[in-house]
Amino acid sequence: MTNAELKTISYANYVKARDAKGLNTNQVADMAKIPSSTIYDWAAGRYMPKTDKLLAIAKVLDVTVEMLISEGE
């Protein structure tokens, strides 16, 4: 899997988990105490959030980092 494919798959998994919680991106960023630009840059495919930010996002969404980055979700 290429890095671009991983970014796309993981962002799609993030959106599913975020929507399941009834949150928007700004709410997730606020709750995770990260800049909303981190998530918006991820959506735009500019880069994948670093592990510490993925952990914070996963915690807010009550999912694992593995769920966010796995192809099967």
Domain boundaries, the chain: 3-69
pLDDT-derived band at 47, boundaries 50, 70, 90: confident
Q: How far apart are alpha carbons 36 and 50 in whole angstroms?
A: 14
Among residues 63, 67, 69, 31, the alpha carbon closest in space to that of 50 is found at 69
Does the pLDDT of residue 3 top 80, yes or no? no
**CATH number, domain 3-69:** 1.10.260.40
Per-residue pLDDT tens digits for 10-43? 889 999 999 999 999 999 999 999 999 999 999 9
Q: What is the mean pLDDT of the chain?
A: 89
Q: How far apart are alpha carbons 36 and 59 in whole angstroms?
A: 16
Alpha-carbon distance values, 33 to 43, 44, 57 (Å): 18, 20, 9
